[in-house]
Amino acid sequence: MNPLLGGGRLTHIRFRKDRAVVTVTLVAFGLAATPSSGQPPPSALVNQGSEETLEAARTASPHTPESTYAYFRKDAEDFIAKAMQRVWGPARPHPEPPRMPWGDPNLQGYWSYAAYTPLERPDTLAGRPLYTPQEAIDVFQERVLTDASVDPATVHYDWTEFGMDNWQSPIRPNRRTSLIVDPPDGKLPALTPEGLERFREQQRRHTLESRSLAERCILGNEGPPYIPFTQNTGQSQILQTQDYVVLIIEENSDVRIVPLDGSAHLPANVRNWLGDSRGHWEGDTLVVETTNFQEKRKWEGSAGNMHLVERFTRVAADTLLYEATVTDPTTWEAPWSIEVPLPMMDPPGLFEFACHEQNYGLINVLRGARVRAAEYESELAK
């Protein structure tokens, strides 16, 4: 399992049932707490009978994925018809961007980081960085169907009911087969031995300190960089002046104020959760360099040593291209880069994000995790 795709994030397990593609949303805890026996229990925090429970819930439910999709079918079909008119591909020409009164490209607005494109290229698409336009449309249609068909056993938010599914955003088909564009194989570089050891130490367990910064309401989506891991990673706003660019993320209301005055980074001993960012223009692209990450901001094996370069380019009236390169030789054996086309959202764009769910829910999350860990200990003892 790729470290960036596990470690406690929401993992979507897809299966087919009566021709409809449905999604089960589970929590993947990665490496769990090590019991006193010293044996690493990769499944200690996972209900070993979960599949039987899910099937029982599906049997008891009066609804099916088909009946759910039927309710939203007209909206989903209209959305697909509109979205397929604009297939994203790296070769699309970039028109002259709109500009601020002082001449810089206008990046202001509300932008969505939602994506159906996987972080890494699937093995079945090895050697194929791009779909054909028709393939991109076909894959997009399938994923819209997945979103609009709710598995009755999914115990989570009904995103679609509240207009929060990816297909209810301005998301469009993408010819990219992975968000990772470098390395060329579309895969994350291997973790260094030091990075792998840290990654294992950072896995969510049954202690408060082991839970992620987003789960503890310290950060929003654990970015930057902004990678569309989960359903609600991605609403953002950009504000500009001649001297600053302000980057706002809806989740947990994270705000980054980026000076454009050429000033030096803060001293190395001054560390921030969101790092220390400095920006400059390269032609029509805003380049933001971020260092000085808080050492306690442990992110997928890294621990404050990350050097991040982000690039923001207005490539269409309603599209902002987000590119990011991550360099941390203490964590990954090579740098890696992603590309995410961000469609513009209509105002009001952002809503208040109150993190009460994690503040209060975390108590029961830990209670449940401790029960699972104790059950696993008991099974090992037998």
Report pLDDT for 15: 27
d(CA 231, CA 29): 18
Backbone dihedral angles phi then psi of residue 112, each to the nearest 5 degrees = -110, 130
pLDDT tens for residues 73-84?
Answer: 999 999 999 999
Q: How confident is the model at residue 35 (pLDDT cuts 50, 70, 90)?
A: very low
pLDDT band for 213, please (50, 70, 90 cuts): confident
| Phi-psi sector, 4: left (phi>0), alpha (psi -120 to 50), beta | alpha
Look at the block and give the residue holding tokens 């207009």. Answer: 163
Confidence (pLDDT) at 99: 97
Q: Which of 213, 166, 153 is nearest to 7 (CA)?
A: 213
Cis ω before 225 (30° cut-off from 0): yes
300 contacts 31 by C-beta, under 8 angstroms: no
Give tens-digit pLDDT for 187-208: 999 999 999 998 888 887 777 7
218 C-beta neighbours (distance < 10 Å), count: 18
Rounded CA separation 359/356 (Å): 5
pLDDT of residue 39: 38
Instruction: Decide if pLDDT at 24 tops 80.
Output: no
Helix (H, G, I), strand (E, B) or coil at 205: coil
pLDDT for the residue 46:
58
Which of 151, 135, 165 is CA-nearest to residue 75? Answer: 165
Alpha-carbon torsion (336, 112, 211, 146), positive or negative: negative
Output the average pLDDT for the chain: 81
Measured CA to CA, the distance from residue 72 to residue 268 in angstroms comes to 52
Q: What token pair was written down for 142? A: 């399938």
DSSP codes of every residue in 51-62: HHHHHHHHHH-S
User: Using one digit for the tens of pLDDT, what is the confidence trace for 93-152?
Assistant: 889 999 999 999 999 999 998 889 999 999 999 999 999 999 999 999 999 988 888 777
Instruction: Please provide the size of the chain in residues.
Output: 382
Provide, rounded to the nearest whole percent, the portion of the chain with pLDDT above 90.
46
Tens-place pLDDT, residues 317-335 = 999 999 999 999 999 999 9
pTM, rounded to two decimals: 0.83
pLDDT(20) > 50 = no
Model confidence at 156, pLDDT cuts 50, 70, 90, reads low
